[in-house]
Structure 1
Amino acid sequence: MSKTASSVWNECLSFIKDNIKQQAYKTWFEPIKPVKLAGEALTIQVPSKFFYEWLEEHYIKLLRVALVKQLGEDAKLVYDVRMENNYSSSNPHTVKIPSSNRNPINPQGVTVPMDINKRELKNPFIIPGIQKVKIESQLNPNYNFASFVEGDSNRLGRSAGMAVANKPGGTSFNPLLIYGGVGLGKTHIAHAIGVEIKDKYPDKTVLYISSEKFTQQYIDSVKGNTRNDFIHFYQMIDVLIIDDVQFLSGKTGTQDVFFHIFNHLHQNGKQVILTSDKAPVDMQDIEQRLLSRFKWGLSAELQAPDYETRVSILKNKLYRDGVEMPDEIIEYIAKHIKSNVRELEGVLISMIAQASFNRKEFTLSLTKQIVDKFVKNTKREVSIDYIQKVVSSYFELDVATLQSKTRKRHIVQARQLAMYFAKRMTKASLASIGSQIGKRDHATVLHACKTVDNLTETDKQFRKYVDDITKKLTF
């Protein structure tokens, strides 16, 4: 039976598949199409110039051995490279490029690695036409560990971030997922890790990007028929930081492409850092295979700062800005602004602005005015402690009984209602809610929320409980 391009290439693929990881095989060999066999020269079509260069640099020895097995010592490989037409992406043309392996294969299989700077890489972050690969990190140097105030609410996240910065890709915190509510410092820690890595390892390629921008770049790559270049670009990153990963929810194509990028980076010892306003268990419309990977490393929750941490944050901000403020004013702000760091800093900026414009000193009355306005104009988040107090009071229980292990029906229902309202009215994760309401796990909280939903629809008396408690919590 005479050999064809397809039969030779299929035999080569069988050999290659047994010698590399499955993900590498899917990424780099499945997209290749056999085109022509002329004597000992096999022509294969690859999707881009970058693709062919990557094969030449990383897999030439493997390709040589596979081809020799099929075509003998004089085997040659020619790439039919699909080149995009700038005027019509639907009308690409191809350029034939011989492999660097033009001569018969030598016994040692020695190859000369290509210079990475010669690649014409589609970089989403640089102006088209610039040939040199230069990836700007997109990091904010002001967000560093020195300016991040540590407290009980964020200690795990900060410590894990420091560990990753000291040894990117070399700890069990890969990926590192930092999650928590708005304004608690997730983005700050993510940037701080990147800034620290760039300082300690200048040669590492670090990239920070929001998931919205990542999604837009992916959409653009699909429109421009450059999807493979998009994937290859991100697979070159040493430390990838993706902010607000929950925004990938429902975006199936973006999730799929991120899945392949994540696998490649993780398998090659690269570091992935993610931030989210939800724990993995609470993320909706994210593929299960992606969620499972988010759980491979460490998920660290940032919670609202306690009073002492809030005071430290205010003092740190004032010190950095070179502003002096009486302790009683700092303490007043810390006592009344409890939800997040962003609001604390917002009040401080308003105070400084008012005092500067009106040439007034910082006074307690001015502070009260600004704090009152700020609190009034800010949507307040009910705390889990407050929810437990309101529910306990409604059922004439104390909070300790609500949190206890008892299985008495009315107490179980009260506990389930507290969990339901905590899920509905706070940004806390299921794990955090369970921990604060009697040290339960996230599955218990999930079950409680489903039970309350079912009973509200089927039980008139229970629906009245929900309506009454809702009024107490919102008025």
Structure 2
Amino acid sequence: MQMDYSSVWDKCLFTIRQHVNNQSFKTWFEPIRPVNLRETSLTIQVPNRFFYEWLEEHYVGLLKMTIRKELGENAQLLYQIVNGSREAKGRMNRQEQTGTVARSPQQEPPRQGYAPGQVDTGNIKNPFIIPGIKKPKIDPQLNDKYTFNTFIEGDCNQLARSAGLAIADRPGKNSFNPLIIYGDVGLGKTHLAQAIGHRVLELHEGKSVLYVATDKFTQQIIQSIKNNAVNDLINFYQFVDVLIVDDIQFLANKHKMQEIFFNIFNQLHQNGKQIILTSDRPPKDMNGIEERLISRFKWGLTADLQAPDLETRMAILLSKSNYEGVDIPQNVTEFICYHIKNNIRELEGALISLIARSSLNQREIDVPLAKEVIKNFVSEINREITVEYIQELVAGHFELPVEILQGKTRKRQVVIARQLSMYLAKQLTDQSLKAIGANFGGRDHSTVIYSCKTVQDLMETDAIFKDTVSDLQRKIKMSLSN
């Protein structure tokens, strides 16, 4: 009986889910759509070429293993790559040497040649233009500290960061043009966008990069309209190889501004120039932006920045403290990052306040000082729940030394205590599975998943054990107010 491609892919996803963490599964596998099954060849559809290249680089082994499991040793996985309104179908003439994965090539849109002409800049009051020369020397307007070296990678920004690095390697010659970076305030959109600009300047001598905030861009347009020099402004922007526009959502309901930006966007895109935009929302939610612009924004890659987990926040704070030349104790770092969860900018503000109070008042940087600072950023300060604290509480309940939870002992009581500790750490902290496992003798994330499942099963079948778990959770939560 012929199998249905949807059911085959569902089975593949079931297997894949066991081998990757939840964030990676949502980012890289949930967007995939199965579209065809012919004998032992399954065709899947991915959003763009970058997505396909990431799968090939990081998950090709897992995909091969999974598709072979469902369709046999001669199985093939074929790709369709969808880029905006364009869909690239087909397959490569050659296959991987293993004979299991065939790829569908992206069809690049035709490029039009462009020879820049003379630009009369005399009437434009534009801080980026040096008048009187044929090709203006463009100040990129980049902040020196916003580089990839100071941008901390985590699950919260992996897609956007990887796309940015790929763009910097081949600006304007990739499938994600434009790149739309969106997310809430303070999550690093401006930092990442400018980091791409810095990397382009490092890798490509002669390339021009320009960063401009939307409010500055609006001022330029108003000035050019007053001076009857709109065409001069548009011509100037054609000299830019990588244009970065920050907070593009502020063009909403400004129809004349949108019309001029539409012309600049079209000319840059047609001539293979790279466009990078940031916004606080994805294109589909940009109310007040004309549909013709929205459709062009969707041509490339839209990548979001999410709130960082505890591990990433601590790495960010450590990086920023190193940049400031200040050594922050580990317990202080944990305290700050436990309470400031959703805004990297607030993390930086808390650090600066901490350093200032320490310096001005000649006080040691410690948790009491951090508590004074944090009161300006959060309304309520609780005692932080750490994996170590959970281990101590559970070990005390079972009358075991904490160290035995981190060892290899397989005695039943120890195993139950260890699994329960992992379960509570997963429920009550925002540590990643990998970080939780590391606190239990370097165990991997699959062990943590198995432990959590075991505890859940025991709670469903053993009322006494369920009461034990509830009592421990209650003790931990009560300790927050002490």
TM-score, normalised relative to structure 2: 0.53
Task: Compute the displacement of 1:181 (Å).
Answer: 0.5
Q: Which residue of 2 aligns with 1:294?
A: 297
Task: Note the 1:32-47 alignment, pairs <5 A.
Answer: none
Task: Compute the displacement of 1:287 (Å).
Answer: 0.1
| 2:212 is aligned with 1:209 | yes
| 2:355 is aligned with 1:352 | yes
Task: Note the 1:299-314 alignment, pairs <5 A.
Answer: 299-314=302-317
**Aligned partners of 1:150 and 1:282: how far apart in 2?**
26
8 A contact 1:125–1:135 mirrored in 2? no
Aligned residue type for 2:179: L
Q: 1:338 aligns with which of 336, 341, 344?
A: 341
Match of 2:303, SS?
strand
Change over 3 Å in CA distance of 1:119–1:247 after alignment to 2: closer
Larger deviation: 177-186 or 131-140?
A: 131-140
**Aligned partners of 2:200 and 2:366: how far apart in 1?**
42
| 2:246 is aligned with 1:256 | no
8 A contact 1:149–1:309 mirrored in 2? yes
Q: Which residue of 2 aligns with 1:245?
A: 248
Aligned residue type for 2:374: V
| 2:277 is aligned with 1:281 | no
**Aligned partners of 1:275 and 1:128: how far apart in 2?**
27
8 A contact 2:119–2:235 mirrored in 1? no
Task: Compute the displacement of 1:321 (Å).
Answer: 1.8
Instruction: Calculate the aligned-residue CA RMSD, in Å.
Output: 2.1
Q: Deviations over 1:309-347 (max 9, x none)?
A: 001111111122221121111000010001110001111
**Aligned partners of 2:333 and 2:345: how far apart in 1?**
15
**Aligned partners of 1:240 and 1:302: how far apart in 2?**
20
Q: 2:169 aligns with which of 120, 141, 166?
A: 166
Q: Which residue of 2 aligns with 1:271?
A: 274
Task: Note the 1:392-407 alignment, pairs <5 A.
Answer: none
Larger deviation: 319-328 or 144-153?
A: 319-328
8 A contact 2:147–2:196 mirrored in 1? yes
**Aligned partners of 2:274 and 2:160: how far apart in 1?**
16
Task: Compute the displacement of 1:129 (Å).
Answer: 5.2
Task: Compute the displacement of 1:126 (Å).
Answer: 4.8
Q: Which residue of 2 aligns with 1:140?
A: 143
Q: Which residue of 2 aligns with 1:219?
A: 222
Change over 3 Å in CA distance of 1:263–1:339 after alignment to 2: same
Task: Compute the displacement of 1:376 (Å).
Answer: 3.4
Aligned residue type for 1:332: F
Task: Note the 1:434-473 alignment, pairs <5 A.
Answer: none
Q: Which residue of 1 aligns with 2:197?
A: 194
Task: Compute the displacement of 1:202 (Å).
Answer: 2.1
Task: Compute the displacement of 1:236 (Å).
Answer: 2.2
Q: Deviations over 1:119-151 (max 9, x none)?
A: 544562257755462211111121000000011
Match of 2:363, SS?
coil
| 2:400 is aligned with 1:376 | no
**Aligned partners of 1:284 and 1:316: how far apart in 2?**
37
| 2:205 is aligned with 1:179 | no
Task: Note the 1:24-103 alignment, pairs <5 A.
Answer: none
Structure whose CA Rg is larger: 1
Change over 3 Å in CA distance of 1:135–1:291 after alignment to 2: same
Q: Deviations over 1:201-259 (max 9, x none)?
A: 12011111011111111111111100111111112211111000000000001101111
Match of 1:274, SS?
strand
**Aligned partners of 1:268 and 1:120: how far apart in 2?**
21
Consecutive unaligned residues of structure 2, counting only runs of 5 or more, are 1-112, 381-482
Q: 2:127 aligns with which of 120, 125, 128?
A: 125
Q: Deviations over 1:378-433 (max 9, x none)?
A: xxxxxxxxxxxxxxxxxxxxxxxxxxxxxxxxxxxxxxxxxxxxxxxxxxxxxxxx
Q: Aligned residues: percent identity?
A: 54
**Aligned partners of 1:251 and 1:354: how far apart in 2?**
44
Q: Which residue of 2 aligns with 1:29?
A: none
Consecutive unaligned residues of structure 1, counting only runs of 5 or more, are 1-57, 60-112, 378-475
Aligned residue type for 1:201: H
Q: Deviations over 1:258-313 (max 9, x none)?
A: 11111111111110000001111111100000001001000000011111100111
Match of 2:185, SS?
coil
Match of 1:207, SS?
strand
| 2:152 is aligned with 1:149 | yes
**Aligned partners of 1:249 and 1:266: how far apart in 2?**
21
Aligned residue type for 1:161: G
Aligned residue type for 1:287: E
Q: Deviations over 1:153-208 (max 9, x none)?
A: 01111111101011100111100000000010000011100011011112011111
Q: 1:326 aligns with which of 326, 329, 351?
A: 329
**Aligned partners of 1:141 and 1:200: how far apart in 2?**
16
8 A contact 1:329–1:364 mirrored in 2? yes
Larger deviation: 315-324 or 343-352?
A: 315-324
Aligned residue type for 2:178: P
Change over 3 Å in CA distance of 1:242–1:185 after alignment to 2: same
Match of 1:374, SS?
coil
Q: Which residue of 1 aligns with 2:452?
A: none
**Aligned partners of 2:300 and 2:130: how far apart in 1?**
36
**Aligned partners of 1:215 and 1:164: how far apart in 2?**
26
Aligned residue type for 1:365: P
Change over 3 Å in CA distance of 1:202–1:339 after alignment to 2: same
**Aligned partners of 2:130 and 2:239: how far apart in 1?**
18
Aligned residue type for 1:237: V
Aligned residue type for 1:125: P
**Aligned partners of 1:289 and 1:126: how far apart in 2?**
28
8 A contact 2:214–2:247 mirrored in 1? yes
Change over 3 Å in CA distance of 1:297–1:129 after alignment to 2: closer
**Aligned partners of 1:303 and 1:263: how far apart in 2?**
30
8 A contact 1:139–1:191 mirrored in 2? yes
Aligned residue type for 2:181: I
